[in-house]
Amino acid sequence: MTDDQLLRYSRHILLDEIGIEGQQRLLDAHALVVGAGGLGSPVALYMGSAGVGRITLVDDDQVDLTNLQRQIAHNMARLGQPKADSARAAVAALNPEVVVETVAQRADAALLDRLVRAADVVLDCCDNFATRQAVNAACVRHGRPLVSGAAIRFDAQLAVFDPRDAASPCYACVFPPDSTPEEVRCATMGVLAPLVGVIGSLQAVEALKLLSGAGPSLAGRLLMLDARQLEWTTLRVPRQAHCPVCANR
């Protein structure tokens, strides 16, 4: 670690749970972020500022004026640009040492199979059920921990699914692939601007803990937030023995 890095990451290094060894693990790590919008913005910014050495951002959308209410990695000057490229520029402005790779296409099964295999941790910041299931399936297949976040209106949730832990459920254990829920999107339902910042920041917390070894993760629990009342609820979520995705892992 260089002198500049020791100074830049000094507040991490001062933490007994991280220290120099944990920070070096962050510098050597590769995070895959699926979605560079409301959740992906704080995730990318905090993972980059914390010194995660390599970040891959996947998003097939472009920056729109309606995004700027909550997607803090983007700005007026980058309207019309691919969101992944805009988020890369935002990370570079904070920490130019971080290598940020962008993929401006939809995260289908074939792409995820390649990208998840190469990552140390995966952060699901997307906004649709089918992609979440595809991300989860790839993480189970390649044994990669998944940090999942979601937010709509005043409600949000956070979970960690870690296939390296035999007791940990996967996303499909909690949200079965055949449940076909009604899709809810910010474009039609709305979302409180800071809510995605809260959940995205907590996704970054969980990912940094997983990568640095700083402490136990949220695996096995589902954390839910009702921002109207500012009430948190935690549910224990067991692994399902007959889950169609992880039963045979």
Enzyme catalytic residues: 186
User: What is the Cα–Cα distance from 6 to 103, expressed in whole angstroms?
Assistant: 31
Structure-token match 């790779």, residue found: 101
Q: Are 198 and 156 in contact (CB under 8 A)?
A: yes
Helix or strand run (H / E) with residue 117: helix 109-118
User: What is the Cα–Cα distance from 140 to 149, expressed in whole angstroms?
Assistant: 17
Q: Identity (one letter) of the amino acid at 207?
A: A
Of the candidates 209, 242, 238, 207, the residue with the CA atom closest to the CA atom of residue 222: 238
SS3 content of the chain, % helix, strand, coil (to 5): 40, 20, 40
Alpha-carbon separation of residue 58 from 30, 97, 137, 157, 174 (angstroms): 14, 20, 17, 21, 24
User: What is the Cα–Cα distance from 223 to 62, expressed in whole angstroms?
Assistant: 30
